[in-house]
A = this chain, B = another copy of it.
């Protein structure tokens, strides 16, 4: 589970509260955890127990108190150690491919409709990914290299959606009936 390490990374940039970590995760295009309460607060308790973070409670009037977490030297060391561990292969969970694999009972029109829907879905995701790349408000910018790396990471995600759109186009080309049988138009 590298969620704990992702949180360490976030805290390495600046100390923030659990509630805000949650939002950073939810807004991130590449930190793929949903960022729900259960996961985040549990992770923070674990990190705290391991001495990788500390927290300080800030009382505010007109709003609930917040626990602001900071990374420790031990946490920084652990973050560096993890950052250099052997990379894992990416996991692609494309439910649409599974669906498409079993459309032999569908008509050409139904298949075309499915592809249209998938394309719309992807176009939406692509737009969001681009927006997050260009306007995401959480991006540490400690060195020129870090800035470049974050840009490249977002390009990877954008490119993944772009690849999906390109692929949809080839699918349309490949499965369109050679003899014209279109309903609408």
Contacts and interface: CB of A to CB of B under 8 A. Distances in A.
Interface of A: 2, 5-6, 8-9, 12, 30-32, 76, 79-80, 82-106, 110, 113-114, 117-118, 121-122, 124-125, 140, 142-143, 145-146, 148-150, 152-153, 155-157, 159-160, 163-164, 167, 170-171, 174-175
A95 to B, nearest CB: 5
A101 B149 contact: yes
* Minimum-distance CB pairs A-B, first 9: A9-B102, A90-B94, A87-B118, A91-B93, A80-B105, A30-B97, A87-B96, A104-B146, A88-B95
B101 A84 contact: no
A109 to B, nearest CB: 11
Contacts of A153: 97, 100-101
Contacts of A148: 174-175
Contact of A89 (B12, B76, B125): B125
